[in-house]
Amino acid sequence: MSEPLLEFRGVRAAYEEVEVIHGIDATFEEGVVTAVLGANGAGKSTLLALAVGIMGPSEGEVRFAGAKVRAGSTSALARQGLCLIPEGRGVFPNLTVRENLWVMTHSGRGRRHVEQAAFERFPRLEERRDQHAGTLSGGEQQMLALARAVATNPRLLLLDELSMGLAPLVVEELYRHVVSLAAEGITVVVVEQFARTALSVAATAMVMANGRIIQTGVADEVESVLQSAYLGSAQPAEGDPPSLNGTSGHTDAGAGDPQA
């Protein structure tokens, strides 16, 4: 069997002295869209930080494309095709749309190429090309973040809470882009607090709780387990998305679910 594109082997990780990831073994196969789900504080963002070398494990190892990920090697990993869109979108608010795209020319492509690729995929960005990114709508900022990521020709795209704070229809539109990126051969990991949207595009899913993976499986199977777990704790109001923290699907962040 071929080696997974991304792999966690017995990974533990801590902030200062406090361990928050308690021994994770997980594989992410090339060409597969995987959803990583879990409530607030489950450790999802930390898992991504470990994947891209923003932080290193205290035990175990992370491997990308067959090589060990070293803490601090984020630029080298980016050049090898590992791309993270962090929670909060990761665009430069004081730069225009075009300037945000031009930053990505460090990946070796020219300005015109980067712009063309972005505007073909996201025509709305072209309409707003000279607007400061900070004044774009939340959905447009995520489009810009996706466009910037695609400009680096990623092999593995990690998306942290793509839907955060966005209206359901906007989330649906963004996820359609994720589906087409996956169809073009980019391996995608979507990290979401709310399950349904991510599960609708994922083939496999992992559920995290308290720094551990508590379930891995085919996305459909994981969804049915999540639903029954949810219904077992509290009856949601009609239309509420299932949440992994046993509360209703509404949070301060307002992350909605287009399929709810």
Burial of 52 (0-12, 13-18, 19+ CB in 10 A): buried
Report which of 260, 211, 188 is spatially closest to residue 39, judged by C-alpha positions: 211
Site for ligand ATP in 113-132 (CB under 6 A): none
| Interface with ligand ATP (CB under 6 A), residue from 5, 24, 26, 42 | 42
Using the rule CB under 6 A, is 193 a contact of ligand ATP? Answer: yes
Three-state DSSP class for residue 136: coil
Three-state DSSP class for residue 17: coil
Using the rule CB under 6 A, is 41 a contact of ligand ATP? Answer: yes
Alpha carbon distance 191, 175 (integer Å)? 12
Whichever of 67 and 214 has its CB closer to ligand ATP, that residue is 214
Residue 216 · residue 206 · CB < 8 Å: yes
Using the rule CB under 6 A, is 46 a contact of ligand ATP? Answer: yes
Whichever of 37 and 150 has its CB closer to ligand ATP, that residue is 37
Site for ligand ATP in 50-89 (CB under 6 A): 87
Whichever of 23 and 41 has its CB closer to ligand ATP, that residue is 41
Three-state DSSP class for residue 173: helix
User: Shortest distance, CB of residue 83 to ligand ATP, whole angstroms?
Assistant: 18
- Amino acid, res. 84: L
Q: Which residues bind ligand ATP (CB under 6 A)?
A: 15, 20, 38, 40-46, 87, 193
